[in-house]
Amino acid sequence: MGAVELTVSQKLFSAFIDGGEAGDWSRTRFLGVRLRKHSLWHRMLLRSVDSPFIKRGVVTMRDLRITAGICRCEYGNSNIRKPWLQPFLIYVRMIMAALFLRSKGKTAPGDLNRYQKALTSQSETLLEYFGDYLAEPDYAVRRSDSAAGRDPQTPRGTFNEEFEHVSELVQFFHGAVTLAQVWDMPISAANYWRVVARRASGMDIDVVTDQEDEFTKNLPPEYRHK
């Protein structure tokens, strides 16, 4: 079954509605533990450990356990408690399966072994969880006529993406929410609030509508916005 392409409005709804209960916890259980709603703090921690889910690398059981521990943390907590019971049971099942297959014959060349299949299945569960919190708006920043003829400014150094994101939202909310609430905000919701914050700062932002999105889909690929 192919991926479902969401409209602009559906992306907005999915950014704030995840099918779970109110509060900080998601509906996802992974490696036997319940995960919090995927937040900017989680992304910061994943980046700090050079996670393959950030840089796209080979995933091991250790990576899965660390990710599960990270996604249980709230802002300020970096004590990563890795789940152990379900990973241990997976190892036991793999050993039992290996002993059974030894008497029944090996898998066909090129096939994934039981352990690789287990890692793939767990990784897919985790990616589905991430996908629940990655919705973001399509928009463009319009340059004013007065700025159109000017040379671009020299690029300045920035902090990492999560810190810059939080900094923008802290300034926008002006103390209406706490620093912890911003860091613990689901990433999808933070993505939309960031666009609102940029509009409030004076940026001329053009948000794509459902009608524009539908029109763009019908254009030849070479005329679509990249």
Per-residue model confidence as pLDDT tens digits over 115-139: 788 888 899 999 999 999 999 888 8
One domain for residues 113 and 188: no
Instruction: Note the pTM of the prediction, 2 decimals.
Output: 0.81
Domain boundary among 69, 97, 131: 131
One domain for residues 208 and 161: yes
pLDDT at 154: 56
pLDDT at 162: 94
One domain for residues 86 and 101: yes
One domain for residues 29 and 126: yes
Q: How many domains, in total, are found in the chain?
A: 2
Tens digit of pLDDT for each residue in 154-201? 556 678 899 999 999 999 999 899 999 999 999 999 999 999 999 998
pLDDT at 177: 92
Q: Are 187 and 40 a contacting pair, CB within 8 Å?
A: yes
Range of the domain at 187: 1-18+136-147+156-226
One domain for residues 43 and 126: yes
Closest CA to 116 of 140, 97, 141, 138: 97
One domain for residues 142 and 92: no
The overall average pLDDT reported for the chain is 83
One domain for residues 111 and 46: yes
Distance CA 93, CA 101 (A): 12
- 3-state SS of 97-163 is HHHHHHHHCCCCCCCCCHHHHHHHHHHHHHHHHHHCCCCCCCEEEECCHHHHCCCCCCCCCCCCHHH
pLDDT at 48: 95
Closest CA to 84 of 62, 60, 59, 114: 62
One domain for residues 143 and 96: no
